[in-house]
Amino acid sequence: MVTKEGEKVVSRRKTQILAIDAGGTMTDTFLIDDQGEFVVGKAQTTPGDESVGLLHSAADALTFWDMTVEDAFPQLLTGVYSGTAMLNRLVSRKGRKVGLIVNKGMEDHHRMGRAIQSYLGYSYSDRLHLNTHRYDPPLVPREWTRGVTERIDLFGNVVIPLYEHEVAPAVRELVDMGVEAIVISLLHSYKNPVHERRVRDIAQQTLKELGADLPVFASVDYYPVRKESHRTNTTIIEAYAADPSRRTLELVDERIKERGARFDIRVMASHGGTISIKANELARTLVSGPIGGVVGGKYLGEALGIKNIVCSDIGGTSFDIALINQGDFTIDTSPDMARLVLSLPLVAMDSVGAGTGSFVRVDPYTKSIVLGPDSAGYRVGVCYREGGIETITVSDCHVVLGLINPDNFLGGQIKLDRERAYQAVKEQLADPLGLSVEAAAYGVIELLESQLRNYLESLVMGKGYSPAQFACFSYGGGGPLHTAGYVKGLGFEDVLVPAWAAGFSAFGCGAADFEYRYDKTLDINVAYGASDAERRTAGSTLQEAWNELTEKVHEEFEKNGFRRSDVQLRLYYRMQYQGQLNDLEIESPLTSVTSAAEWDQLTATFEDTYGRVYARAARSPELGYTVTGAIVRGSVDVPKPKIPEEPYAGETPPQSAFHGQREVYWDGKFIKADIWEMEALKAGNRIRAFAIIESPATTFVVPPGFEAVLDTHRIFHLRQTSGE
């Protein structure tokens, strides 16, 4: 901050937390001070170097505090980053050249994949027809795969010893073919790692002799879990996309340190915590941005006393939805991503390619409107002159209808061209359909919101719940534009739109724990009526696994200078009735299990959880119990944001917040919409339809049949009005 006399004035505000969400379209920055107050910044994502968009976004946020990046960054205590570089590298198949060593006879297994991979990401109709169904090329082609003789069975017994003499020639052949990394994945190595680790050691020695500086990734060192396709895919991704992306994260870390930061950046991980960029398993950060939104929803729900939440996030490229039930989200241990099945603990989410940047086309055969799944990303649409986009997007329709002010996009940093959008919608959409330009654009919005509403309803109803049992949180840069459209008629208990919706995923990153999670597959079977000795042995086996994983957690935190006494540990186990297909992840009520009585406490906790998730009548203890996995989560204390608290000012908005009216096309006619400035509204203000609440980072539409009330936490509550 500089005075008129040119003297530098240092802001008294002390910044503490930096949280960044570099999405496919926009980079959101969330800065929090020592009082828990925060500001949100937004800038276009810069795919070539995400640190550029980050710094622009941070500078945008700091204008609200009259600070510069150089003022704020030296004060920061911690920072969290989530980006798309790794996922983009995977989806676009632009990763490392990876060689793969597997069991002899299994060389085609990765190329074949599992049956589910043949139709992942396709609609039902597209799965049926050959002309719409294709197979992605494998990350590791068959010619870069080698087999070695050995076999360990599913119980961990050595059936065929390792033919060690086959390993070095396989490595030499892969090096001669120009591979840049080597992955090793052998059957059942999670039960007995001896062969896989021996192959790793021989490979490393051979590379040393060859003078080849190639990294070696053994699946047992990264993901010692069941399901060989999932485990192999995930370890390959570690070598193919995650490890090469480490440089992107290091570049972000370097850039913020150049501006005065004195901490190591953390990255949002798939399980809902944050990890260091130095972490061994970096593929855990493959999907980070959407996860931040769910973590933010959980954090906000805890502050507001809301336990059942539907999280809905609309960005430029996708619509992401997740459930928080009884205050916690579900972890999927075998998710799929980029048409690959994986072994990563991932916050359970549904994602569809429908966002504000989604391309809009007319099907030449059916003459119907088709949305996405591809997107213009940061280039917005035809209305963005510098983007070079020729195909219209949902955002072009927003501009044509008057929902978005073309002179106020990103607070006026970017001017959108309504005439370009109007002409493109006319040529590509309206004329082929025989509609007016406005009617065609409105039809796109109706179609999008109808699809989103169906996705949302199927998520909730498909889990056996009713929307009336849940509050819906709507966020993302495009969320407030469409909230009313996709919640209409569903009957949610409440619909909440935070004033910082555009940066909500970044807010979630700032609210996330600094946490490492490690999983290990187990097969502990205990029959109904088992003896004390059998139950005690089962507990001891589980405890040994917890001890092993605890060491891994401590090792990771030690890389960042934390002592063991700084780490809070939470122990989990996955249990099911014997013979069932699905298990449940449960937090242990105990810190150690060594006796039969303590084992009984674990099964009692499982019984209680099973009765809540399914039904008490469905419990079947007579089947006996199976522990399928052990989990350890370790965390350390980090600063977190405070939920805003403002005094109640009454229902009537201040006149200073009113910015006149704008003509908007809505439901077949042009109407006048009241324009309100979001930042100028006060707690308690009631905004009635038709209204558009504008912020530099987002636009909130309150259409006929709705009203919005701003509470003391700067959260809008969107409500359907009677008689509509």
Per-residue model confidence (pLDDT) at position 257? 92
404-430 pLDDT, tens digit per residue, is 888 777 665 677 888 888 999 999 999
Is 616 inside any structural domain?
A: yes
Q: Is the pLDDT of residue 476 over 80?
A: yes
Per-residue model confidence (pLDDT) at position 3? 35
Q: Who's near 523: CB < 8 A, 6+ residues apart? A: 191, 626, 627, 628
Exposure pattern of 388-422 as b/e (b: 16+ CB <10 Å)? ebeebbbbbbbbbbbbbbbebbbeeebebbbebbb
CA–centroid distance for 372 within its chain: 20
Q: Is the pLDDT of residue 95 over 50?
A: yes
Q: Mean pLDDT of all residues in the chain?
A: 87
Nearest to 241 by CA among 164, 357, 107, 340: 340
Confidence of residue 671 (pLDDT cuts 50, 70, 90): very high
175-186 pLDDT, tens digit per residue, is 999 999 999 999
Per-residue model confidence (pLDDT) at position 203? 96
Is 136 inside any structural domain?
A: yes
Q: Which of 216, 235, 267 is the last residue of a domain?
A: 267
Q: Which of 211, 233, 267 is the last residue of a domain?
A: 267
Mind giving me the DSSP string for 345-414? -EE--EEES--TTEEEEE-TTT--EEEEEEE-GGG-STT-GGG---S-BHHHHHHHHTSS-TT-BGGGTB
Is 117 inside any structural domain?
A: yes
Q: Which residue has the higher pLDDT, 642 or 715?
A: 715
Q: Is the pLDDT of residue 230 over 70?
A: yes
Q: Does 233 share its domain with 262?
A: no
Q: Which residue has the higher pLDDT, 26 or 230?
A: 230
Q: Does 624 share its domain with 702?
A: no
Query: Hey, how many other C-beta atoms are within 10 angstroms of the C-beta on 468?
Result: 10
Is 461 inside any structural domain?
A: no
Q: Is the pLDDT of residue 692 over 90?
A: yes
| Enclosing domain of residue 119 | 91-244
Q: How much is the average pLDDT of 486-496? A: 93
- Distance CA(440)–CA(430), nearest Å, equals 5
On whether the CB atoms of residues 299 and 357 are closer than 8 A, the answer is no
- Distance CA(689)–CA(485), nearest Å, equals 13
Q: Is the pLDDT of residue 127 over 80?
A: no
Per-residue model confidence (pLDDT) at position 123? 67
Per-residue model confidence (pLDDT) at position 24? 67
DSSP strand pairing (691-694 vs 699-702): antiparallel
Q: Which residues are paired to 216 by β-bridges?
A: 182
Query: Does the predicted model carry a pTM greater than 0.85?
Result: no
Percent of the chain whose predicted confidence (pLDDT) is above 70: 96
Q: Who's near 273: CB < 8 A, 6+ residues apart? A: 512, 513, 514, 515, 516, 517, 633, 635
Q: Is the pLDDT of residue 245 over 50?
A: yes
Q: Is the pLDDT of residue 7 over 70?
A: no
DSSP 554: H
Q: Is the pLDDT of residue 5 over 50?
A: no
| Tokens representing residue 132 in the block | 């719409």
Confidence of residue 4 (pLDDT cuts 50, 70, 90): very low
Per-residue model confidence (pLDDT) at position 8? 42
Residue 603: what residue type?
T
- Read off the CATH number of the domain in which 73 is found: 3.30.420.40
Per the listing, tokens 């390959």 go with 236
What DSSP element (H or E) covers 446? helix 437-462
Per-residue model confidence (pLDDT) at position 111? 86
Per-residue model confidence (pLDDT) at position 349? 82
Is 155 inside any structural domain?
A: yes
Q: How much is the average pLDDT of 504-521? A: 86
Q: Does 205 share its domain with 83?
A: no
Q: Is the pLDDT of residue 85 over 80?
A: no
DSSP 8: B
Mind giving me the DSSP string for 255-308? HHHHTT--S--EEE-TTSSEEETT-S-GGGGSS-HHHHHHHHHHHHHHHHT---
Per-residue model confidence (pLDDT) at position 9? 42
Q: Does 593 share its domain with 533?
A: yes
Is 50 inside any structural domain?
A: yes
- Distance CA(687)–CA(694), nearest Å, equals 12
Confidence of residue 11 (pLDDT cuts 50, 70, 90): low
Q: Is the pLDDT of residue 2 over 60?
A: no
Q: Does 45 share its domain with 96?
A: no
Q: Which residues are paired to 114 by β-bridges?
A: none
Question: Minimum mean pLDDT among 261-275, 277-291, 553-567: which range?
Answer: 277-291
Q: Does 161 share its domain with 257?
A: no
**SS3 assignment for 221-264:** HHCCCCCHHHHHHHHHHHHHHHHHHHHHHHHHHHHHHHCCCCCC
Q: How much is the average pLDDT of 133-161? A: 91
Nearest to 321 by CA among 491, 506, 460, 477: 460
